[in-house]
Structure 1
Amino acid sequence: MQKETWMQTLILSFQSLGVIYGRLSTAPLYVFETIDAEDISSPDEIHELFSFIFWTLTLIPLLKYAFIVLKADDDGEGNVLDALVCSGIDFTVFVVNLKQTQTSLILAGGPFSLYSLLCRHAKVGLIPSNSGSSKISYHEEDEISSAPSQGKPENKARKAIEKYKSCHYLLLFVALLGACMILSDAVLRPAISVLSATSGLGRSLAKISKVFSPDEKKDHTANALKKYLPAPVACAILVCLFTLQRHGTKRIGCFFAPIVITWLIFISGFGLYNIIHYDAQILRAVSPVYMLRFMRKVNLRHEKLLSSVVLCIAGSEAMFADLGHFSKKSIKITFICFIYPVLLLTYAGQAAFISKNLRVDGAFHLSESIPHGSLEHVFAVLSLFASAVGSQSTITAGFSIIHQCQALDCFPRVKVVHTSNKIFGQVYVPDANWLFMILSIAFTVGLHDTSKLAKATGLAVATGLLVTTCLMSLVIALYWEKHLFASVCFLLFFGSVEAIYLSSTLTSFFHGAWCLIILLVFFMTIMAAWHYGTLKKYESDVENKVSIEWLTDYSPSLGVSRVPGIGFVYSDVDTGIPAFFTHFISNIAAYHQVVVFVTFKASPVPYVHESRRYLIGRVGQKEYKMYRCIVRYGYHDNVRDTDDFEDDIIRSIGEFIAREEYDHEALNSPEGRMIVLGIPSNDGNGLITVADMSSTTTVVGVSESRRGLLDAPSGSGGTPPPLGKKKRVQFMLPPESPQMRVSVSQELRAMIDARESGTAYFLGQSHLTARQGSNLLKRLLVMAYVFLDKNCREPPVALNIPNAALLEVGTVYKI
């Protein structure tokens, strides 16, 4: 793995200020503002609340995330073997050449990152695309090493979790719950931050209006500005903010970072002024004695106060959820050296001001702590920009979570745009972006109250933090293999702190926290329905597949013909013949000279290296010219929507044919034994490519009639009429091809001829329906899945396939 330079670290640290830490930096806008002044009985309680803020910032973002959780990054190149074992693959020979593994900094974070680590190190995965039973052999010409170790030794915790299926479902639910909290936060956080800033703008304009308005209209004008101005301005800012997302994390980070730096220096400077001018004794509140004094007299009123305090760490989860956008070093350095001390100075200054102006109207708003009236107007404008930046972290975290969930079959197919060629985790999801914008504006207009939005946001923050703690405790025991006592201590220590905040936010359930439940039901229904439908569809495909003998023994009696060309058959099954393809052959009675069964397999890792991307094997005997290709990818990989995907598969099959010559065991091996291959270069043993931009690929139209297919019998050499054209590369045998065996050379030549004759693509469409008598929950999940499947913005196989060459064969499954 390439080592990150200090210059790269500084650049990423600068960009992270505008993406990750914008939220933490704007939390002072509403932490104290959402506290009801009537709930504060004395200035001492302000000191106690600041003690809570100090220790909460120290324990959660600093200790938990910066020093512990960030170490659990899901490094895509860190353990390829474990990723493949999780996919159910039994290795016979496996070689890892670390010297050839050169990647840029590849990291991923969030609850699904922790969940994927658990899937790799304990058999708890429920994702259908992670299952399989293929045996693989892997060969390299220059280096062969011994078989890998059998994995990490078993322990009691792993055995207990693997034994009970209910634990598997519980872990998936917890991971989905954490993902839902981040997605809900991406809706609520922009609403509360922008609305809080615009309320400050309304207060500033109200003061100006009192100077220029007639005496009899001063109060009326000021109250109108405070009441009616914030919502329209907030909606306009939200539209601008979400529109900027398409420019990508790098551009937004470079643009937003100076705003965050200016904002933090501005508020921390006045925080220092307020400490000196109003109450220097506030610094004594860093002692935990103040916090314990508050806990001794806790009641319902104090619980309400803590529901506002938890907002000071709103945005901490972005340090881990946005890990794919930046490096661990840059995130940690930025927080420890800049964000943490500046925020403490700001909160201390605001608490010092409030403690001496407890009964002053509006004292809990941050703008009131600005000492000079003219600077208050500057603060109002700067807070608007800072609030927009503060929403960026949750939005980008939402994009990352959707991308991960989609790759692991827990979210419908949506378009994902990779906005950086160097930091592969930087993604933009257009559909999710507009959904976040609509929901955020709806909550802003509907609630029109910062306090209500704060209660919902606080509940989302506390729940998300507790989910991370639960998953992280399992990672400590199962992945890091620390003593169970260490895992329990981590869970009890951080979990107890977060449970206190969770209980405090639940006391405000009917005062705004109920909004989160609406978003939770919305996102959880989408994820659960899609996962359930995907799982059932996969199980139905496996149950209805047929063996290779059906195609080779039974089909000749039907008068099935072989026509020139290559047929790519896309399915989810990795052994046998998919049911939809047999349905097609039974009705058309013809299939192509060369058939390639392609299956995409998601691995619970961010990335699968290109050198281990494809698994190639035969289907049936050599004379059938049928192959199977399993394409492995991680939840941050982008392998499907490339223009040269088909060419890569053909070259990999050519390399497989050439290597198989030296693998005598694989010549007569049963189906399922495959070879690990990457994207072969032109100096490989199989096919090589020559750019041929002037020529086009002829695609065999799979929508043509049975008569059209049978007009070109096997071996006739005829070419079906072209129904679609696209630019392509030309294949040829390598210069040393005369040294090959005749059978190998003939098979490679047949592959070239088939490619020249044309290409067709077969895609199965499985339609799910609930059986009569199914319970209500199953019916609702199936209905939701069918609706989502019909309205997906991306096709099941996101390849640049000409419409004339694509055949979708539908099958109906009752579950």
Structure 2
Amino acid sequence: MVSQKKTWKQKILLSFQIVGVVYGQLSTAPLYVFGTIPPSDVDPDNHFFDEEVVYELFSFIFWTLTIISLIKYVFIVLRADDNGEGGTFALYSLLCRHAKVSLLPCDRSINEVVHHEEEIFSEIKVESRARRLIEKHKICHYLLLFLALFGSCMTIGRAVLTPALSVLSASTGLEISLSDVSHIFSSSDHARESISKALKRYVPVPCACVILVGLFMLQSRGTHRLGIMFAPIIAIWVLFIGGVGIYNIFFWDVKIIYKVCPVYMFRFIRNIDLTRWRLLGNIILCVAGSEAIFADLGHFSKKSIEITFVCFIYPLLIVCYAGQAAFISKNLHLENFNHLSESMPSYWKHVCIVLSLFASAVGSQASITASFSVINQCLALNCFPRVKVIHTSKTRHGQIYIPDVNWLLMILSLAVTIGFRDMVKIGNATGLAIICGMIVTTCLLSLIIALCWEKNLTLSACFLVCFGFFEVAYLSACLLEFHKGAWCLVLFLILSMTVMLAWHYGTMKKYEFDLQNKVDTEWLIDIIPNLGISRVSGIGFIYTDLVAGIPAFFSHFITNLPAFHQVLIFVSFKSMPVPCVPASERYLIGRIGPKNFRIYRCIVRYGYCDHVRDTDDFEEQIIRSIGEFISIEQNDLESRESQDGKMIIVGNKASTERTALVPLDEDNLCMKPTDSQISPEIEPFETASPCASAKKKKVRFMLPASRPIMQASVRQELQELIDAREKGSAYFLGQSHLVVRHGSNFLKRFLIIIYHFSEKNCREPPEALKIPHAALVEVGLIYII
């Protein structure tokens, strides 16, 4: 009963945080949906923008929110989560697991070693016509990867444009409010005009820039803290605009509630022309933030997202838009009638301005956190240059912060704000980013319905046609405004897609070169006695992308310098198309050559949300895993056959009942234990002074005593592993230099140039792996591709 109460408390807390993080953008959309309509289109003198058009646009807003945000995302797309993770790459990883469409670097010959044997292969369902068609044609594989990268770029683009749009719209409201106050104290029309021009020039953009800088500086505090800070602001804002919306409905036009009838949409389409059709590019902004409902799923629970939207956000937003439409329909003669602040009662107008400034900053949070999630997934799948990822929560692995990306987004957002200085142009670019991301989600989800959920192809086609037709109509309206700001998004898309594709291409080519030039393990076994290899004390970690064979850079090293360490460990990282790999299945350990060679292979399997590469205890986990491998190898538990011999998954229940190596914290090492403090099951190993080495290493290991019973050879091998760790570690990395083959086409040369630039300006591998420079050995090789 206690745990159930705790669960409900957690759901309520998450639902409260969601208001400020996930739904901030949706909640602040009323600031710019009507406000981004160009003044030339709303000029009453052209007799175009009349009361009936307002009703028709409100009908579009109601049904767009209902069909896209409520039905599509909350009721359907959230069901396509990847073990609790959302976003474009979550959909792509689902397709990769249910159909063989992955283009990520992977050694196909030993697929059975590096994949989840029981879990992943069981997800490949019965053969179907659609699955065979997609798996057979390579062009489908490239198209799916392109869609995943395209959708990711749209998410990043929204993180640049949305803060600029929402904050600038609120700052424009501040300028309007100050202008109204100044008119009271100005006697002449000339003075009023001069003050208005000065306010328009010096208030909106500078104020927006200050708020944007403050918003991005707060990102390092993490999603949990920001959710607690921002939730009250958005909650008050939504209740405020909902309350004002109810007031406007009853004060201006109570019959507005009947205008949700689809008949008004058909009237709009029946009288369609180019000018009217462009207005749909502004109306699509009412669902800005709907993609974040799915992309931010890793930060919160599905149930909390659903409850908050259905019971709180959706009804209040509908009421707000209805009240704003009722006001606009009766006040078309006012100068700024399409701005939200003008629809407020006079005694609440200034309160609205203050709240909107805070809410607009908070409203950008959803797009920023969604971009962090998407980039983290791209990083794990080798589709984005290496950047530092900081996990801001110990309980929820999806809550992350990426400093480099955060500052880059801030610079781009400031550039857009200062460069355009016009919310209409920024709104056009934002609308195009929103609808493009939604079309990608519709395409990928239609495939998931057929391939993953194994529904009828007719149902998949209906989903694609129904939602796709609705979204393509909005896309055509957004493209009509391409020359009025939307080109900015296309430019950003070209830059980001080029970087992603170049990084993926360079990574693939490096891996293919390593695969073609690797050396068989038999070569290493034969060369050790023949070449007279000297064994140096300590442990040598060789980091390689290969999961079989010897990498070319290491064979090059020992050929020129015939020496390596007493214990040699080949470490490989393999990303899986899953969010997380359980700790019990993460480490796959094998042996290279005879036992007396003391050469091991460790394959570290991780999902696109795992955080294993740059953890402080990573080396300790590898040593523990090899110790477990040595102790259970004699029983051949959970063995797998590979080209190198036996591969054993360590970390399961059977292997953790008794620990092969007992860690001893450095605090305990410096204390001289009394006889009563010495455990009868632990015997210290014979090494140098513990206190002297405690300063150098965080964790040291000891062998267990006679229990559990070990063979003498096993105990000796474990002791040698401990002694080698005490002597120190060295880390071998291959430093690749990609060179394009003479006569290659321009596209290949261009991609490699971009890859070189990205590699030189991204996070270095030693830093990402937390390798001390004093123990680093880099071996350079020229890769001709």
Q: What's the TM-score once normalised by structure 2's chain length?
A: 0.92
Measured against aligned partners, the alpha-carbon deviations of 1:126-174 in whole angstroms (never above 9, x if no partner) come to 11158561555999xxxx9999858411111111111111111100000
2:279 paired with 1:305: yes
| Conserved? CA contact 1:135–1:672, under 8 Å | no
User: What displacement does 1:693 show?
Assistant: 4.1
| Conserved? CA contact 1:724–1:802, under 8 Å | no
| Conserved? CA contact 1:50–1:285, under 8 Å | yes
Measured against aligned partners, the alpha-carbon deviations of 1:8-36 in whole angstroms (never above 9, x if no partner) come to 11101100111111100111111111123
Measured against aligned partners, the alpha-carbon deviations of 1:67-99 in whole angstroms (never above 9, x if no partner) come to 110011110xxxxxxxxxxxxxxxxxxxxxxxx
Match of 1:483 in 2: 456
User: What displacement does 1:444 show?
Assistant: 0.5
| Conserved? CA contact 1:270–1:346, under 8 Å | yes
Report how many residues are paired.
Answer: 756
2:708 paired with 1:735: no
Where does the alignment leave 5 or more consecutive residues of structure 2 unmatched?
Answer: 671-686
Measured against aligned partners, the alpha-carbon deviations of 1:466-515 in whole angstroms (never above 9, x if no partner) come to 00000111111111111111111111111110110001100111111101
Aligned partner of 2:68 among 37, 53, 60: 60
Structure 1 194/423 Cα, relative in aligned 2: closer, same or farther at 3 Å? same
Range with greater deviation from structure 2 (742-751 or 426-435): 742-751
Match of 1:316 in 2: 290
| Conserved? CA contact 1:473–1:491, under 8 Å | yes
Match of 2:781 in 1: 811
- d(CA) in 1 for partners of 2:641, 2:478: 65
- d(CA) in 2 for partners of 1:634, 1:68: 24
Structure 1 425/718 Cα, relative in aligned 2: closer, same or farther at 3 Å? closer
Aligned partner of 1:654 among 615, 621, 627: 627
- d(CA) in 2 for partners of 1:543, 1:266: 64
2:490 paired with 1:517: yes
Superposition pairs for residues 672-687 of structure 1, below 5 Å?
673-678=646-651, 683-684=657-658, 686-687=660-661
Residue identity matched to 1:295: I
Residue identity matched to 1:552: I
Q: What secondary structure is seen at the aligned counterpart in 2 of 1:324?
A: helix
Where does the alignment leave 5 or more consecutive residues of structure 1 unmatched?
Answer: 76-106, 697-716
User: What displacement does 1:685 show?
Assistant: 5.0
User: What displacement does 1:241 show?
Assistant: 0.7
2:514 paired with 1:541: yes
Structure 1 145/202 Cα, relative in aligned 2: closer, same or farther at 3 Å? closer
User: What displacement does 1:780 show?
Assistant: 1.1
- d(CA) in 1 for partners of 2:583, 2:769: 18
- d(CA) in 2 for partners of 1:665, 1:348: 63
Match of 2:536 in 1: 563
Match of 2:683 in 1: none
Match of 2:414 in 1: 441
Structure 1 151/682 Cα, relative in aligned 2: closer, same or farther at 3 Å? closer
Aligned partner of 1:26 among 12, 25, 28: 28
Aligned partner of 2:325 among 333, 340, 351: 351
Measured against aligned partners, the alpha-carbon deviations of 1:415-436 in whole angstroms (never above 9, x if no partner) come to 1111111111011111111000
2:106 paired with 1:125: no
Structure 1 805/673 Cα, relative in aligned 2: closer, same or farther at 3 Å? same
Superposition pairs for residues 588-599 of structure 1, below 5 Å?
588-599=561-572
Match of 1:71 in 2: 79
2:239 paired with 1:265: yes
Q: What secondary structure is seen at the aligned counterpart in 2 of 1:512?
A: helix
Superposition pairs for residues 353-368 of structure 1, below 5 Å?
353-368=327-342
Match of 2:684 in 1: none
User: What displacement does 1:214 show?
Assistant: 4.5
Q: What secondary structure is seen at the aligned counterpart in 1 of 2:635?
A: coil
Structure 1 737/724 Cα, relative in aligned 2: closer, same or farther at 3 Å? closer
Q: What secondary structure is seen at the aligned counterpart in 1 of 2:382?
A: coil
2:579 paired with 1:616: no
Match of 1:391 in 2: 364
Q: What's the TM-score once normalised by structure 1's chain length?
A: 0.89
Structure 1 487/455 Cα, relative in aligned 2: closer, same or farther at 3 Å? same
Match of 1:9 in 2: 11
Match of 1:198 in 2: 171
Q: What secondary structure is seen at the aligned counterpart in 2 of 1:68?
A: helix
Match of 1:453 in 2: 426
Structure 1 669/112 Cα, relative in aligned 2: closer, same or farther at 3 Å? closer
Superposition pairs for residues 401-412 of structure 1, below 5 Å?
401-412=374-385
- d(CA) in 2 for partners of 1:241, 1:533: 35
Measured against aligned partners, the alpha-carbon deviations of 1:582-615 in whole angstroms (never above 9, x if no partner) come to 1110111101121110001111111111111100
Residue identity matched to 2:376: H
- d(CA) in 1 for partners of 2:338, 2:639: 75
Residue identity matched to 1:398: S
Match of 1:42 in 2: 50
Residue identity matched to 1:29: L
Match of 1:370 in 2: 344
User: What displacement does 1:665 show?
Assistant: 10
Residue identity matched to 1:759: S
| Conserved? CA contact 1:65–1:319, under 8 Å | yes
Structure 1 179/666 Cα, relative in aligned 2: closer, same or farther at 3 Å? closer
Q: What secondary structure is seen at the aligned counterpart in 2 of 1:632?
A: strand
User: What displacement does 1:785 show?
Assistant: 0.7
Residue identity matched to 1:48: E
User: What displacement does 1:800 show?
Assistant: 3.1
Superposition pairs for residues 419-430 of structure 1, below 5 Å?
419-430=392-403
Residue identity matched to 1:25: S
Structure 1 670/470 Cα, relative in aligned 2: closer, same or farther at 3 Å? closer
Cα RMSD for the two superposed structures: 2.6
| Conserved? CA contact 1:640–1:797, under 8 Å | no
| Conserved? CA contact 1:613–1:679, under 8 Å | no
| Conserved? CA contact 2:224–2:393, under 8 Å | yes
- d(CA) in 2 for partners of 1:188, 1:234: 13
| Conserved? CA contact 1:690–1:729, under 8 Å | yes
Higher helix share: 2
Match of 2:523 in 1: 550
Superposition pairs for residues 615-654 of structure 1, below 5 Å?
615-654=588-627
- d(CA) in 2 for partners of 1:571, 1:145: 26
Q: What secondary structure is seen at the aligned counterpart in 1 of 2:698?
A: strand
| Conserved? CA contact 1:247–1:419, under 8 Å | yes
2:252 paired with 1:278: yes
User: What displacement does 1:621 show?
Assistant: 2.3
- d(CA) in 2 for partners of 1:351, 1:294: 15
- d(CA) in 1 for partners of 2:118, 2:88: 35
Match of 1:382 in 2: 355
Range with greater deviation from structure 2 (800-809 or 676-685): 676-685
Q: What secondary structure is seen at the aligned counterpart in 1 of 2:579?
A: coil
| Conserved? CA contact 1:544–1:579, under 8 Å | yes
- d(CA) in 2 for partners of 1:74, 1:328: 12
- d(CA) in 2 for partners of 1:485, 1:328: 27
Measured against aligned partners, the alpha-carbon deviations of 1:628-676 in whole angstroms (never above 9, x if no partner) come to 0000111111112222211211111111111111129969985154111
Measured against aligned partners, the alpha-carbon deviations of 1:719-751 in whole angstroms (never above 9, x if no partner) come to 9xx999722323232223683223222222222
Residue identity matched to 2:101: V
Match of 2:302 in 1: 328
Residue identity matched to 1:74: D
Q: What secondary structure is seen at the aligned counterpart in 2 of 1:772?
A: coil
Aligned partner of 1:188 among 161, 165, 168: 161
| Conserved? CA contact 2:637–2:648, under 8 Å | no
Match of 1:763 in 2: 733
2:212 paired with 1:234: no
| Conserved? CA contact 1:248–1:428, under 8 Å | yes
Match of 2:93 in 1: 116
Structure 1 137/121 Cα, relative in aligned 2: closer, same or farther at 3 Å? closer
- d(CA) in 2 for partners of 1:214, 1:136: 83
Q: What secondary structure is seen at the aligned counterpart in 1 of 2:541?
A: strand
- d(CA) in 1 for partners of 2:165, 2:324: 19
Measured against aligned partners, the alpha-carbon deviations of 1:784-809 in whole angstroms (never above 9, x if no partner) come to 11111111135256233222111111
Structure 1 179/387 Cα, relative in aligned 2: closer, same or farther at 3 Å? same
Range with greater deviation from structure 2 (561-570 or 206-215): 206-215
Structure 1 807/341 Cα, relative in aligned 2: closer, same or farther at 3 Å? same
- Percent of residue pairs bearing the same amino acid type: 58
Match of 1:774 in 2: 744
